[in-house]
Chain A
Amino acid sequence: MYPPSFDYAAPDDLDEALKLLELHNEDAKIMTGGVGLINAMKHHVIKPGFLIDISRIRELGLIGDHGGYLSIGAAVKVAELQRSDLVKRNYTALSEAAGAIADPLLRNMISVGGNVCTGNPDDDLPPVFLSMDAQYILAGRNGRRVIDADGFYLGHMSTAIRPGEILVEVRVPRQTERSGSAYIKRELRQNDHLVAGVAASISLEEDGRYKRLAFGLSGSGNTSIHARLPKFTGSRPVDVPVGDIAKMVVEEASPLSDRQGSASYKRKVILVLAREALTLALQRAEQGGQK
Chain B
Amino acid sequence: MKISVNFNGRNVDADVEPRKLLVDFIRDDLHLTGTHVGCDTSSCGACTILLDGVAVKSCTMFAVQANNRNITTIEGLSKGDELHRLQSAFIEEGGLQCGYCTPGMIMTSAWLLSNNAAPTEKEIRNGISGNLCRCTGYDSIIRSIQKASSDRRGGRK
Contacts and interface: CB of A to CB of B under 8 A. Distances in A.
A2 B60 CA distance: 11
B129 A5 contact: no
B1 A105 contact: no
B36 interface: no
Question: Which of A10, A39, A105 has most B Cβ within 10 Å?
Answer: A105
Contacts of B75: none
B103 interface: no
A105 B55 contact: yes
A191 B44 CA distance: 11
A105 B56 contact: yes
Given A105-B108, A109-B56, A8 B18 contact: yes
Contact of A10 (B19, B67, B131): B67
A237 to B, nearest CB: 32
Interface string B113-155: 0000000000000110111000000000000000000000000
Contacts of B1: 8
A6 B19 contact: yes
Nearest to A4: B19
Contacts of B57: 105-106, 109
B110 interface: no
A42 B54 contact: no
| Dominant secondary structure at the A interface | loop
A108 B55 contact: yes
Interface in B42-94: 42, 45, 48, 51, 54-57, 60-62, 64-65, 67
Contacts of B51: 108
A2 B61 contact: no
B61 to A, nearest CB: 7
Nearest to A5: B19
A145 B36 CA distance: 44
Contact of B17 (A5, A38, A103): A5
Contacts of B42: 35, 38-39, 106
Interface string A1-40: 1111111101000000000000000000000001100110
Given A1-B40, A105-B55, A38 B60 contact: yes
Interface string A87-122: 000000000000000111110110000000000000
Nearest to A8: B18
A27 to B, nearest CB: 14
A277 interface: no
Nearest to B61: A34
A51 B18 CA distance: 9
A51 to B, nearest CB: 7
Contacts of A191: 129-130
B130 A106 contact: yes
B41 A39 contact: yes
A1 B21 CA distance: 9
A39 B130 contact: no
A190 interface: yes
A37 to B, nearest CB: 9
B26 to A, nearest CB: 16
Contacts of B19: 2-6
Contacts of A104: 55, 108, 126-127, 129-130
22 contacts: A1-B41, A2-B19, A2-B21, A5-B19, A6-B19, A7-B18, A8-B1, A34-B65, A35-B42, A38-B62, A53-B64, A53-B65, A104-B126, A104-B127, A105-B48, A105-B108, A105-B130, A105-B131, A109-B56, A109-B61, A190-B129, A191-B129
Interface of B: 1, 17-19, 21, 40-42, 45, 48, 51, 54-57, 60-62, 64-65, 67, 108, 126-127, 129-131
Given A2-B19, A34-B60, 16 more contacts: A1-B41, A5-B17, A6-B18, A7-B18, A8-B1, A10-B64, A38-B42, A38-B62, A39-B60, A102-B130, A103-B45, A104-B55, A104-B127, A105-B108, A108-B54, A191-B130
